[in-house]
Structure 1
Amino acid sequence: MEVGSAQPYFFGDIGCWSERTEVHKAASLGQASELRELIQSGASVNMVAVDSITPLHEACVRGQAQCVRLLLDAGAQVDARNVDGSTPLCDACSAGSLECVRLLLQHGAKTNPALTSRTASPLHEACMGGNSDCVKLLITMGASLESYDLYYGTPLHVACVNKHLDCVKVLLNAGAKVNATRLHETPLHHAAKNMRVEMIKTLVEFGANVYARDQQDRKPADYTTPGSSSAACLQLYETTPMSLQQLCRLAVRRKLGTRALKVIGQLEIPKLLIEYLCYQ
Structure 2
Amino acid sequence: MATKASAFTFSTYKNGDPQDDDDRPNAMGKSPLGLACTYGQLEEVEKQLKAGANPLDKSVNGRTALHDVVVGGYKDCLKLLLDYTAEVNIRDRDGMTPGHVAAFNGELGCIKILQDRGGSLVSEDRKGRQIAHYASMRNHKKILQYLFDQRVDLDCRCHLDKTPVHYAAQHGALDSVILLVQRDCDITIADNNGYLPAHHAAKHNKVDCLRFLVKQGTPLEATQSDGKSLAHVAAQFGALDVVHWLFDKGANPNQQDLTREKPCDTCYKKHKKVEWDRSHPLAPVERQLTTAKSVAYKNPVPNQEREPTQLQINLKKREKRLEKLLPKKTGPERDVGAKYFGEFLDPLDVFAYKSTEDAIRF
- The residue number in structure 2 matching 1:181 is 190
- The residue number in structure 2 matching 1:157 is 166
Matches within 5 A, 1:256-275: none
- Give the TM-score taking structure 1 as reference length: 0.71
In structure 2, relative to structure 1, the CA distance for the partners of 1:131 and 1:25 (3 Å cut) is same
1:186 Cα deviation from its structure 2 partner = 0.5
Deviation sequence 1:207-254 (CA, Å, 0-9, x none)? 324332123321113426487334323639xxxxxxxxxxxxxxxxxx
1:45 to 2:61 alignment = no
92, 95, 102: which is aligned to 1:92?
Answer: 102
Deviation sequence 1:247-266 (CA, Å, 0-9, x none)? xxxxxxxxxxxxxxxxxxxx
- The residue number in structure 1 matching 2:75 is 65
1:202 to 2:224 alignment = no
Matches within 5 A, 1:197-236: 197-222=207-232, 223=234, 225=240, 228-233=244-249, 235=251
1:206 Cα deviation from its structure 2 partner = 3.2
Aligned amino acid, residue 231 of structure 1: F
Is residue 197–residue 230 contact of structure 1 (8 Å, CA) maintained in 2?
Answer: no
Distance in 1 separating the partners of 2:219 and 2:23: 56
Distance in 2 separating the partners of 1:106 and 1:232: 51
1:115 Cα deviation from its structure 2 partner = 4.5
Distance in 1 separating the partners of 2:37 and 2:138: 22
- The residue number in structure 1 matching 2:121 is 111
1:166 to 2:175 alignment = yes
Distance in 2 separating the partners of 1:90 and 1:180: 24
Distance in 2 separating the partners of 1:45 and 1:159: 33
Higher RCO (CA < 8 A, seq sep 6+): 1
Aligned amino acid, residue 27 of structure 2: Y
In structure 2, relative to structure 1, the CA distance for the partners of 1:137 and 1:233 (3 Å cut) is farther
1:94 Cα deviation from its structure 2 partner = 0.8
Identity, % of aligned positions: 24
Q: Aligned pair count?
A: 227
In structure 2, relative to structure 1, the CA distance for the partners of 1:139 and 1:5 (3 Å cut) is farther
Is residue 172–residue 178 contact of structure 1 (8 Å, CA) maintained in 2?
Answer: yes
Distance in 2 separating the partners of 1:59 and 1:205: 41
1:87 Cα deviation from its structure 2 partner = 0.3
Is residue 170–residue 206 contact of structure 2 (8 Å, CA) maintained in 1?
Answer: no
In structure 2, relative to structure 1, the CA distance for the partners of 1:64 and 1:187 (3 Å cut) is same
- The residue number in structure 1 matching 2:130 is 121
Distance in 1 separating the partners of 2:125 and 2:44: 35
Aligned amino acid, residue 73 of structure 2: G
Distance in 2 separating the partners of 1:108 and 1:51: 24
Distance in 1 separating the partners of 2:23 and 2:147: 36
1:86 Cα deviation from its structure 2 partner = 0.6
Unpaired runs of at least 5, structure 2: 1-17, 253-362
The alignment partner of 1:100 has SS state of helix
Deviation sequence 1:163-208 (CA, Å, 0-9, x none)? 0100001111112110111111100112233444442342234332
Distance in 1 separating the partners of 2:201 and 2:247: 11
Aligned amino acid, residue 85 of structure 2: G
The alignment partner of 1:103 has SS state of helix
The alignment partner of 2:194 has SS state of coil
1:79 to 2:97 alignment = no
CA RMSD of aligned residues (A): 2.7
- Give the TM-score taking structure 2 as reference length: 0.56
In structure 2, relative to structure 1, the CA distance for the partners of 1:135 and 1:190 (3 Å cut) is same
The alignment partner of 1:126 has SS state of helix
